[in-house]
Amino acid sequence: MVTAVVGANWGDEGKGKITDMLAENSDIIIRFQGGANAGHTIINDYGKFALHTLPSGVFYDHTTSIIGNGVALDIPKLFNEVKGIVDKGVPMPKILVSDRAQMVMPYHVLFDEYEEERLKGASFGSTKSGIAPFYSDKYAKIGFQVSELFDDEQSLKDKIARVIVQKNALLEHLYHKPLLTVDGVYATLMEYKEMVEPFVCDVSAYLYNAIKEGKNILLEGQLGSMKDPDHGIYPMVTSSSTLAGYGAIGAGIPPYEIKKIVTVCKAYSSAVGAGEFTSEIFGEEADELRRRGGDGGEFGATTGRPRRMGWFDCVASKYGCRLQGTTDVAFTVLDVLGYLDEIPVCVGYDIDGEVTTDFPTTTRLKKAKPVYEVLPGWKCDIRGIKNYEDLPENCRNYIEFIEKQIGFPITMISNGPSRSDIIYRNK
């Protein structure tokens, strides 16, 4: 059976922890989109890890970890990450890389930097990992697929020569930076070939057989619904689809095989980068939530940047869950809210004097003011609780209030960063 683990919000919902947890009973875990621009933080028996490219199932010896064709594959980063976990005592994971995945080139990273430099204050807040230039090239059909590393030398050099004409025009005239050469790009690709060769696989064929054999397969999403290029807060979005539906394409499986969609939804809001964030809070109130948030504070796993903070947003989360096609909500980081006397929850958006619970397009979203309902806090530490009935009444009320507002069943509640901090709720 195929299960997708995806985010309802702006990312950083705790998908890594949920994937790591569900991976215990899975055979295969696949990354199907995004690149090394966002990170998952995982805490388990081996220690604390920030993963950027590897799927969050790499810590078990019974799993196969797959980089799907939809991923922006940064080969040196992937190999550093593997080395990083093996150096900390994790057994060498079984990794497969799709022969149809495309590679992030060093010049994609440079173009990302140069463009942010050019835009200055109007920048997108990119992590400068080359993701937007990478996907632009992929769809402009001037990217490099892993399979092309095995093409003959002359064909590959001819393609490089075609590609760098465009790149060099921009480097020379727009950015005033050093130019690319055919030999330089070819040498980089040959280095990548050496690193990736042992792992290259026809992933869709592998998965076709795995599904036939009844294997348990997890699709692991990066970021969340709000960052989807079509359905999110365009243009402050990422460059590949963050939705479970894209899992079929980014892994190469039939869409109807995705039977379960676990949408991870954080008990309060956080966001990185620029863009609309209606329930955002500021000042001391935000600082305290950031300090107490997640595991050791809400700071980016890739960049260390402080995350923007806000109260739970039912409008955005209802929409985020709907677009994912949610069958189960995993409600995470609930333990963090235990310090609050009262907890505001955004239940509607006031746009030009009219209140709506439907998430609008960005032009209208810009005008939205949050409408809050304030719920009583539970004022205690809920970590360690294993049964839903043992949660304080106000805590259960908070969960049930939000469940009603968003309209999707909350079947898992995460009350701590570890694998075992989970409460299952039968619905």
Which positions touch ligand GDP (CB under 6 A)? 7, 11-17, 38-41, 43, 294-295, 301, 332-333, 335-336, 414-417, 421
**Minimal distance in Å, beta carbon 294 to ligand GDP?**
3
Tokens matching residue 197: 């060769």
**Minimal distance in Å, beta carbon 14 to ligand GDP?**
3
Q: Which residues contact 183 (CB under 8 A, 6 or more apart)?
A: none
362 touches 305 (CB < 8 A): no
Using CB atoms within 10 A of its CB, is residue 119 exposed (0-12), middle (13-18) or buried (19+)?
exposed
Pairing of strands 342-351, 312-313: parallel
Closer to ligand GDP by CB, 13 or 313: give it: 13
**Minimal distance in Å, beta carbon 301 to ligand GDP?**
5
End-to-end Cα spacing for the chain = 20
347 touches 402 (CB < 8 A): no
Length of the chain: 427
Closer to ligand GDP by CB, 299 or 408: give it: 299
Residue 231 annotated as catalytic: no
10 touches 326 (CB < 8 A): no
254 touches 321 (CB < 8 A): no
Out of 20, 40, 74, 335, the active site residue is 40
The pair phi, psi for residue 393, each rounded to 5°, is -60, -45
Closer to ligand GDP by CB, 15 or 308: give it: 15
Residue 368: count other Cβ atoms within 10 Å of its Cβ. Answer: 22
Residue 74 annotated as catalytic: no
**Minimal distance in Å, beta carbon 231 to ligand GDP?**
18
Closer to ligand GDP by CB, 10 or 111: give it: 10
Q: How far apart are the C-alpha atoms of 86 and 89, rounded to whole Å?
A: 5
Closer to ligand GDP by CB, 9 or 188: give it: 9
Residue 128: count other Cβ atoms within 10 Å of its Cβ. Answer: 19
Closer to ligand GDP by CB, 103 or 336: give it: 336
Q: How far apart are the C-alpha atoms of 96 and 115, rounded to whole Å?
A: 33
Residues marked as catalytic: 12, 40
